[in-house]
Structure 1
Amino acid sequence: MPLDDAYANAPYIPGAEAYPPRWLAAAAAFRDALGARAEIGVSYGASARQVFDFFNAEATARGTVVFVHGGYWKAFDHSSWSHLAAGPLAAGWSVAMPGYDLCPDVRIADITRQIAQAVTAIAARVEGPIVLTGHSAGGHLVARMLAEDVLPADLRARIPRVAPISPVADLLPLLQTSMNELFQLDEAAALAESPTHQPAPEADVKIWVGAEERPVFLEQAEALAWAWDAPAVVVPSKHHFDIIEALEDPQSDLVRFLTAS
């Protein structure tokens, strides 16, 4: 398909094959170190993948950061990313990481509804603000949470800030990739699931993307920034796999944005 190479990340990242096992090991070690503060596999829906891990702040939480993982809606699960909670936890926030069913077992619209269900369940168990961030397909999903028909208005009012990281914000180009054999998107479905076609939200949105990412991801970030009149932060020397490492650092600009008072 014409755009398969444009949306391929791993072939253009040195040592790409080492990242997934490294993430998995770091996540497991992080959970082990957190001990009882890590609540693992909290169910929010009917399927085995509809669970979230909840990492409790050491003292009374200032709020909750929800991180949604990527993988083109067809790969990974929430358990590979636990270590990315380190930055917000150090800043006094709890962190929730939901999983979701994958394509082709479900459609992207179904995943959007599942994440909305997860955010609703997470919000019901905590007080204070809910801040959303997600990477790649997860960036798409957290952006979708700001649409008027996805979450209830009272819950959206608890979401002051959202940080999509390397988001896929316009799904129309995916019709020209072989991945669409799994997604089974048509033009109408792609438009309906594209944050670039949503009205600009009231929440404070800042988009992160790596300067060394594939050109289409820079274009996707720019398109969402333009559609929502939101700033895009282009991080020097970062690519699609290491852009998320900033979440481990409480002093990073990304974590500072997420955990601002």
Structure 2
Amino acid sequence: MDMDREYANSAFIAGSAELPALWLKKAAAFRNGLGKRARLGIAYGPQDRQALDLFLPEATPQGLLVFVHGGYWMQTDRETWSHLAAGAVARGWACALPSYTLAPEARIHQMTAEIANAIAVAAAEVAGPVVITGHSAGGHLAARMGCTDHHAPRTARVVPISPLADLEPLLQTQMNETLWLDAEEVETESPARQSLACKAHIWVGGSERPAFLWQARTLSEAWNCPWTVDAGLHHFNVIDGLEHPDSALITACLDGL
């Protein structure tokens, strides 16, 4: 089996080349529209990418949603995805989006530690429950925040979206020339091989690559938690529900806490 093909997304999604420009446009419009309720570039460490953006609702926040971006741990940043805070903010929640050091400058276990630090800084700014979500590689990092070794006391739920939950298949991909995964890191950084310390709900698009459906199901079975296959959605639009306060995805994140 060709693992590079199994974990390729853009090649199987029509119009994917135009999406980054659209995301950047929507993200900038959301930030600009929020005005002073957009607190940008809050440092959680000394490095350039160790910063987060915090978006606040009009009233006192009911809690904090954290969104961790994807990009196979090698691409994108928080500024690309600001618009995904819209649904939570409209529901009266604060939403934090951290950047983190990318490969090859950082190994995946270092990114995990950075996200834990980012969440601690964001949670110090906002009272109430903390919910952590993220997409693809960010779904992996969100899932790691639900594991016993990185679980923060106020984290009520993790909602990994299209997560990479078992990293072993990535050893067979060309991207590992940049990620530098080895057997030890696969074992310690695969959420599906760790114990869950809070509530969890796994989310994945019904039209995603089979490998991502396998990853999502593997995590839901390992954690004995619900998983939702969002019919008709692919790897890049499965996150769009985060923009809308009444979406099923936002409901899975925020309801019942």
Pick from 178, 182, 201: which aligns with 2:174? 178
Q: What is the CA–CA distance in structure 2 between the aligned matches of 1:191 and 1:140, rounded to whole Å?
A: 13
Shift in Å at residue 257 of structure 1? 2.1
One-letter amino acid of the structure 1 residue matched with residue 233 of structure 2: K
Cα distance in 1 for residues equivalent to 2:147 and 2:250:
24
Assess if the C-alpha contact under 8 Å between 1:135 and 1:166 holds in 2.
yes
Q: Which residue of 2 aligns with 1:226?
A: 221
SS in 1 for 2:3: coil
SS in 1 for 2:216: helix
Q: SS of the counterpart of 1:247?
A: helix
SS in 2 for 1:133: strand
Q: How does 1:141-220 map to 2 (within 5 A)?
A: 141-151=141-151, 156-201=152-197, 203-220=198-215
Q: Which string of whole-angstrom CA distances, capped at 9 and with x for unpartnered residues, describes residues 209-248 of structure 1?
A: 0010000000000000000001110011100000000001
Q: Which amino acid aligns with 2:244?
A: D
- Return the alpha-carbon distance in structure 2 between the equivalents of residues 12 and 145 of structure 1: 30
Paired AA for residue 227 in structure 2: A
Once the two structures are TM-superposed, the CA of residue 20 in structure 1 deviates from its matched residue by 0.8
Is contact 2:145–2:158 with CA below 8 Å preserved after alignment? no
2:134 is paired with a residue of what secondary structure? strand
- Counterparts of 1:4-19 in structure 2, within 5 Å, are 4-19=4-19
Match of 1:58 in 2: 58
- Give distance in 2, aligned partners of 1:228 and 1:148: 12
Cα pair 1:246 1:252 within 8 Å, conserved: yes
Q: Contact between 2:148 and 2:196, CA under 8 Å: does it hold in 1? A: no
Alpha-carbon distance in 2 for matches of 1:125, 1:245: 26
Distance in 2, matches of 1:252 and 1:229, equals: 24
* TM-score normalized with structure 2 length: 0.97
Contact residue 146 and residue 157 of structure 2 kept, 8 A: no
Alpha-carbon distance, 1:198 to partner: 0.3
Gaps of 5+ in 2: none
* Structure 1 residues 1-261: aligned runs within 5 Å: 2-151=2-151, 156-201=152-197, 203-260=198-255, 261=257
CA distance in 2, matches of 1:115, 1:199: 18
Report how many aligned residue pairs link the two structures.
256
Residue identity opposite 1:122 in structure 2: A
TM-superposition CA deviations, 1:169-188 (whole Å, max 9, x none)? 00000000000000111111
1:204 Cα deviation from its structure 2 partner:
1.5
Q: CA deviation at 1:124?
A: 1.5
CA contact (8 A) 1:200 1:229 kept: no
Residue 147 of structure 1: how far off its partner (Å): 2.2
Q: What's the TM-score once normalised by structure 1's chain length? A: 0.96
Deviation at 1:150, TM superposition (A): 2.1
Computed over aligned residues only, the root mean square deviation of the Cα atoms, in angstroms, reads 1.0
Deviation of the 1:123 alpha carbon: 1.2
Residue identity over aligned pairs, in percent, reads 50
